[in-house]
Amino acid sequence: MKKDSKIYIAGHRGMVGAAILRKLKEEGYTNFVLRTSTDLDLRNQNDVDSFFKLERPDYVFLAAAKVGGIHANNTFRADFLYDNLMIQNNVIHSSYTHKVKKLLFLGSSCIYPKLAPQPLKEDYLLTGKLEYTNEPYAIAKIAGIKLCENYNKQYGCNFISVMPTNLYGPNDNYDLQNSHVLPALLRKFHEAKEKNLPFVEVWGTGTPKREFLHVDDLADACYFLMQNYDGTEFLNIGTGIDLSIKELVALIQKIVGYTGEVTWNTDQPDGTPRKLMDVQKLSNLGWKYSISLEEGIHKVYTQKFLS
């Protein structure tokens, strides 16, 4: 990408899209074409095609998606499947039609089978059943991977796909009904400390293990891959390190400075037992994360709740 190349970031106001935009600006890129969801409904094929015809972007980062945690995924199952399929189908097809030089599609680690061996290698895709609670979202993301792969094979496009592990960082969602585990815990513990509550209730048993990547590291990896990777196969992006939810709770409790008790509501679902990414392929290309989990959570907590 040249510094004056026209770059379209779909979803630039979300956590991932905003981080990619920050990264590109830091690297000296200036020619961005951006639309909010109010300006452009990516689910509308005609509107997306008209946008690409008008703007003719050179490069596309497809970070737009309908996202949420276990509760949101399991409650709005049809919406998660329909909206994500429409968004990615329209953007990827219009990128082909209007001769985009390169596209990067962002998926999710939930694409892997629920009981896949750990760590999760790219080869494990479609080798078993998905976790039921987020199956619609996962199916949409798998379709996006296959769409990029086959536009490359049939039409010679340069569309790459990346699968990030669990993300956190600026612009995260802190709604307790719809957010992911890390921001939800940060908010719970912060409010418990502020209100001097005697205990914090956490869903599940605390035994599942999760890997977390700061969104600024993800943006750095996406920028690196747009510069250095043209393969058809998708790539995992993560740290290669995980911890149990109990360990995460203890870390967040320490960072927030909450001194009350933690209770575990074991009537609520745990989700997938473990989701650790195998990041060997990405590592072999020369990229590695730089923000440790404790440092990242400190930074996020300070920015969101203490500034």
Give CA–CA dist 156/151, Å, rounded: 7
Question: Is 214 labeled as ligand-binding?
Answer: no
Per-residue confidence (pLDDT) for residue 252, from 0 to 100? 98
pTM above 0.85, yes or no: yes
Taking CA atoms, 138 is separated from 131, 169, 184, in Å, by: 9, 22, 21
The tokens for 295 are 């440092």
Per-residue confidence (pLDDT) for residue 273, from 0 to 100? 81
Question: Is 17 labeled as ligand-binding?
Answer: yes
Give CA–CA dist 248/124, Å, rounded: 26
User: What is the mean pLDDT of each successive set of 10 residues along the chain, which is 307 residues long?
Assistant: 97 96 98 96 98 98 88 88 98 98 95 93 96 93 98 98 96 83 95 97 94 98 98 96 97 97 93 88 98 98 94
Per-residue confidence (pLDDT) for residue 72, from 0 to 100? 79
Question: Is 167 labeled as ligand-binding?
Answer: yes
Question: What positions carry a catalytic annotation?
Answer: 137
Per-residue confidence (pLDDT) for residue 46, from 0 to 100? 98
Per-residue confidence (pLDDT) for residue 167, from 0 to 100? 94
Per-residue confidence (pLDDT) for residue 112, from 0 to 100? 94
Using DSSP, state whether 14 is helix, strand or coil: coil
Per-residue confidence (pLDDT) for residue 28, from 0 to 100? 98
Using DSSP, state whether 41 is helix, strand or coil: coil
Question: Is 180 labeled as ligand-binding?
Answer: yes
- HSE, side-chain direction, 13 A CA sphere, residue 289: 25
Question: Is 15 labeled as ligand-binding?
Answer: yes
Per-residue confidence (pLDDT) for residue 269, from 0 to 100? 83
Using DSSP, state whether 188 is helix, strand or coil: helix
Spell out the domains of the chain, with CATH numbers in brackets: 7-171+211-241+276-291 (3.40.50.720)
The tokens for 50 are 């008209």
Question: Is 169 labeled as ligand-binding?
Answer: no
